[in-house]
Amino acid sequence: MMVFGTGFKAQGGLVSAGAILAALLSAEMAAAAPVTGLPGDLAAGVSGTFMSEPGVQLFQVQCGSFDGEGSCEESPQTKSNVSIPVTEKTTQDIVDIISTATDTCSDEWINETYRIDCIRQTLLLAAARLPTRGDYAPVREALVDAAEKLDRIVAQNSAAASGRVTPPIGGRPLAPTLPPLRAVSPEAQEKAVAEALAVLEEAETILLRSAENSTRRLEHYQQVAQAIDSTKVLLRSS
């Protein structure tokens, strides 16, 4: 097994730059290192740790789809066994990931009918960076809960047929892409957007209430709530 300086281990000794970038979700590294897709018959699982917290498993992704485009998606088997307190770095990481929706889900890459699912996928990416225990557990739960509710909205209002859309994360042409998005039918767009806005509003409220008894967590939760709030601008423009 090969161990990279980034702190990520490649299963089977094979990993692409796209896999590492998707795992780290670092805008600086994405700009500096071009991403190349994996061969169509290769899928490499990547797990990682916070470099400052080597015992924390962040998430697992599968990179290299059948078309070799190097798209990445987290594994539903993600687990975390270490409880960590709130830190400025971790909170900023989560805020930065959620904020990528502004570019990932913009008109430049997708039309409005895909926007709800795009925001859902972005929230899942952020949730995958958080442990299930400790100060960030309520944040992770709020993000996952919102993503599940957005998933139901998309499923209940899905278009009968829609093209395959995989926007690059952060809107960077060479960055790894989100998994294929699902579109809402044009007829149901207005209703679906209203429901999605309510879900995001609820997630913000849950976060802020979760930190009411902790001044230590409150500032961090507020930052995440503000990042969630910023995604509503995308929906209101739909």
Closest of 168, 165, 189 to residue 125, by C-alpha: 168
CA 43 to chain centre: 19
CA 178 to chain centre: 8
Taking a C-beta distance cutoff of 8 angstroms, is the pair 125, 146 a contact?
no
- Please tell me the distance from the alpha carbon of residue 30 to that of residue 77, in angstroms, as a whole number: 26
What pLDDT score was predicted for residue 73?
Answer: 43
Written as tens digits, the pLDDT of the chain (238 aa) is 333 333 333 333 333 334 433 443 433 333 333 322 222 222 222 222 222 333 333 333 333 332 323 334 443 434 444 678 999 999 999 999 999 999 999 999 999 999 999 999 999 999 999 999 999 999 999 999 999 999 999 999 998 777 789 999 999 988 999 999 999 999 999 999 999 999 999 999 999 999 888 888 999 999 999 999 999 999 998 7
What pLDDT score was predicted for residue 82?
Answer: 63
Q: State pTM to two decimals.
A: 0.68
CA 49 to chain centre: 16
Taking a C-beta distance cutoff of 8 angstroms, is the pair 135, 85 a contact?
yes
Q: At what angle do helices 115-127 and 137-156 cross, to 10 degrees?
A: 160
Q: At what angle do helices 115-127 and 215-236 cross, to 10 degrees?
A: 160
Kindly give, in sequence order, each residue whose CB lies less than 8 Å from that of residue 18, ignoring residues fewer than 6 positions away. Answer: 35, 36, 37, 38, 63, 64, 70, 72, 176
Output phi, psi for 156, to 5 deg.
-75, -15
Joined together, the tokens standing for residue 22 give: 């998707």
Output phi, psi for 31, to 5 deg.
-75, -30
What pLDDT score was predicted for residue 100?
Answer: 96
